[in-house]
Amino acid sequence: MPDFNYLTDLVVQVRRDILRQVHKVNSGHPGGSLGCTEFFVALYQVLMERKEGFDMNGVGEDLFFLSNGHISPVFYSVLARSGYFPVEELNTFRLLNSRLQGHPTTHEGLPGIRVASGSLGQGISVSIGAAEAKKLNKDQHLIYTLCGDGELQEGQNWEAIMYAAANTVDNLIVTIDLNGQQIDGATKNVLPLGNLKAKFEAFGWEVLEIEKGNNLEAVVEGMKLAKSKTGKKKPVCVLLHTIMGNGVDFMMHTHDWHGKAPNDEQLEVALSQNPETLGDY
């Protein structure tokens, strides 16, 4: 049984990490990062089967690929606090020659990062390749990926979605961060996505929804259910309903904080809403 008291404290700490990272360099994407904090904590602390150390091949463990790479602040925080690299390295976010670039890269060898991402629309394709490699290697572990909802406006996704079902890629769980916001506004105003559940099902996927995507227990329960659906001849899609900017009242429910850092006063207000728990870096 997961220790939800510890996990809740970790969620608060990760939110603080996100805010401090983007504030320090006055650059980055806090909105989507804050909205996906519970998902990342659940994934790395409870759901994924991980082995000691890190290597690019990832044989014998579950793998995760972040497609919407602009939410790197939450990814870096959870990787650091899951032991992949020192927490203090979060201080280097977006600095020149840092391993923690604004969008994840591989050339500096940051543990936990297996693919450069941020060019939207590519994550599902990459994950399908990794999932098929698992099958070729007789490795029973799973591939996870996270995409933004606005990202599904990229056509490459739908080619990949069609391919995965046609080729029985059933060791794959694709989660969609369904917050209804993107850089230019609400998705319904920029380019409506329609009924995503019906679309994925029409393409031959198993689809689950987590209505409370910012509730840790709901995320853990929903993702465990998704795991139970793997290996049954269909790829699995999870529609994760989240709130952009979750945990900071003035950042919630708006696209305004998609890619804007808080100033000094705003940072203090945001941190006061997320009191220190595990210790800042």
So where are the chain's domains?
4-272
141 alpha-carbon distance from chain centroid = 19
Query: How many Cβ atoms sit within 10 Å of the Cβ of residue 182?
Result: 22
CA distances from 31 to 145, 156, 194, 227 (A): 19, 25, 23, 27
Interval 122-181: pLDDT, tens: 999 999 999 999 999 999 999 999 999 999 999 999 999 999 999 999 999 999 999 999
What pLDDT score does 1 carry? 80
What pLDDT score does 106 carry? 95
Superfamily of domain 4-272: Thiamin diphosphate (ThDP)-binding fold, Pyr/PP domains (3.40.50.970)
What pLDDT score does 118 carry? 86
H or E element at residue 220? helix 216-228
What pLDDT score does 271 carry? 97
Contacts for 154 with CB less than 8 Å, ≥ 6 apart: 120, 121
Question: Is the separation of the CB atoms in 171 and 142 below 8 Å?
Answer: yes
pTM above 0.95, yes or no: yes
SS3 172: strand
Question: Is the separation of the CB atoms in 17 and 244 below 8 Å?
Answer: no
Question: Is the separation of the CB atoms in 103 and 72 below 8 Å?
Answer: yes
E-strand stretches of 166-242: 172-178, 181-182, 185-186, 206-210, 236-241
160: nearest Cα among 204, 119, 128: 128
276 alpha-carbon distance from chain centroid = 23
Tens place of pLDDT for every residue, the chain, 281 residues?
899 999 999 999 999 999 999 999 999 999 999 999 999 999 999 999 999 999 999 999 999 999 999 999 999 999 999 999 999 999 999 999 999 999 999 998 999 999 999 899 999 999 999 999 999 999 999 999 999 999 999 999 999 999 999 999 999 999 999 999 999 999 999 999 999 999 999 999 999 999 999 999 999 999 999 999 999 999 999 999 999 999 999 999 999 999 999 999 999 999 999 998 888 88
Interval 25-41: pLDDT, tens: 999 999 999 999 999 99
